[in-house]
Amino acid sequence: MTAPADGTLVVIGNFDGVHHGHRAVLLAGAAAARERGLAPFVLTFHPHPTVVLRGAKPSPLTTIDFRVRLLCDVEPTLTVVVEPFTRELAALSPRQFATHLLADALGARVVLVGQNFRFGSGRTGDVETLKKLGSELGFEARAHQLLGDEAGCFSSSRVRAALTVGDVREASRVLGRPHAISGRVVAGDGRGRKLGAATANLEQVAEVLPPDGVYACRVERMSRTGQGDPLALGVANIGVRPTIGASQRTVEVHLLDVEADLYGLWLRVYLVHRLRAERAFCGLDELREQIARDIETARRALSPGGRPSASDTSDPAAAPPAVGRSIAGLADKASVKP
């Protein structure tokens, strides 16, 4: 590719979740780029390194499509580069990484990273390594301080920890928005409709799921580019549906006051409040009554300024294509903004 003639400011990170801390470093980078007359770039990687190096399949906080869109929403002038993470990339020494990707491919004049940034084979490079290499290769390396609140640093790990115990409100505090999951609507067994609450059954959900339970949510219909259009408020059930003797974990969403043919469409579901844990009921009549209560609790929780009261809760077609491009893909198009 041909790097911008005046050079670039490159912000590097995984940015899973695009939380408050990520947005702070991105905004700082965009501001510094304006001051220096540089083109602001974001360099991120996909898939996650553990997928390539360990064969693990960790669920992300955000799919790569949604991550790119969130990055672009932070600052419209940013150009997002999604570089494929491969074994060949992982084998690069810190010097090779800085030379080939930053200096040569992206024309970096300034590189901005977090204080805990590591890079190169075996994660042997750190911020000091980057600064030394930058002085040789013609770019300035800067480390942005980690931000947080009274509970600690904003981090993807903190969001994951909150979701592990079902604390979607804490996840929202760190993310700056409710945690979202997405999936394709498929035909179910029709049992929800018989119980008075038809549901959209989601498959191919890739994101981190909280514990089984019932959640008040906001629902968007997703376009082919991953753009979300508001569809409805809703009630999501995540779990195995023990009352009917099912065993497979499912994700299904009842839309409030909306009836539509959604089969084959992709929905994004923002988990706003956890209403209760999943449990077995004595029969379908008791389950039907509980579903009606869940719907009313969700309405109150999702109303302006609303949240469930203590008495309401028992405990705290193909996927849309990725928007970003790799460095190689930038040869034909320098901007990857959606």
Angle between helices 20-36 and 64-74 (to 10 degrees): 50
d(CA 76, CA 168): 28
What pLDDT is stored for residue 89 in this prediction? 96
pLDDT band, very low/low/confident/very high, at 331 (cuts 50, 70, 90): very low
For residue 148, give the nearest of 138, 158, 139 by alpha carbon: 158
d(CA 163, CA 170): 8
What pLDDT is stored for residue 329 in this prediction? 57
What domains can be seen in the chain, in order of their start residue?
8-150+322-331 (3.40.50.620), 167-302 (2.40.30.30)
d(CA 110, CA 138): 9
**Mean pLDDT, residues 195-207:** 91
What pLDDT is stored for residue 54 in this prediction? 87
What pLDDT is stored for residue 333 in this prediction? 36
Backbone φ and ψ for 251, nearest 5 degrees, come out as -125, 120
- For the record, the structure tokens of 141 come out as 């390396």
What pLDDT is stored for residue 332 in this prediction? 40
E-assigned strand segments in 73-178: 79-84, 108-114, 140-144, 148-149, 152-153
Q: Write out pLDDT tens, residues 114-156.
A: 998 999 999 999 999 999 999 999 999 999 998 999 999 999 9
Regarding pTM above 0.75, the answer is yes
CA distances from 107 to 101, 119, 128, 137, 329 (A): 9, 18, 20, 10, 16
What pLDDT is stored for residue 308 in this prediction? 67
**Mean pLDDT, residues 56-77:** 93
What pLDDT is stored for residue 319 in this prediction? 40
pLDDT beyond 70 at 251: yes
Q: What's the angle, vertex CA 326, arms to CA 67 and CA 78, rounded to 5?
A: 55
d(CA 264, CA 143): 44
Residue type, 62: T
d(CA 46, CA 68): 11
Place of tokens 């992982």: 90
d(CA 147, CA 319): 34
What mean pLDDT is reported for the chain?
89
d(CA 159, CA 222): 24
- For the record, the structure tokens of 182 come out as 């997405």
d(CA 212, CA 214): 7
Partner residues linked to 113 by β-bridges:
143
Which of 17-21, 54-58, 244-248 comes out lowest in average pLDDT?
A: 244-248
- Segment holding 289, helix H or strand E: helix 284-302
- For the record, the structure tokens of 292 come out as 């009606």
Reply yes or no: is the peptide bond before residue 47 cis, omega within 30 of 0: yes
What pLDDT is stored for residue 16 in this prediction? 96
What pLDDT is stored for residue 103 in this prediction? 97
For residue 269, give the nearest of 191, 192, 186, 209 by alpha carbon: 209
| 299 contacts: CB under 8 Å, gap ≥ 6 | 233, 256
**Mean pLDDT, residues 163-172:** 98
Q: What's the angle, vertex CA 89, arms to CA 38 and CA 20, rounded to 5?
A: 50
Q: Which of the given ranges, 41-55, 80-94, 232-246, has the highest pLDDT on average?
A: 80-94
Q: Write out pLDDT tens, residues 284-300.
A: 889 999 999 999 999 99
Burial class from Cβ neighbours inside 10 Å (0-12, 13-18, 19+) for residue 221 reads: middle
Burial class from Cβ neighbours inside 10 Å (0-12, 13-18, 19+) for residue 245 reads: exposed
What pLDDT is stored for residue 225 in this prediction? 75
- Segment holding 297, helix H or strand E: helix 284-302
pLDDT beyond 60 at 335: no
Q: Which of the pair, 328 or 209, is modelled with greater confidence? A: 209
Place of tokens 């460095």: 327
d(CA 178, CA 207): 13
pLDDT beyond 70 at 210: yes
pLDDT beyond 80 at 1: no
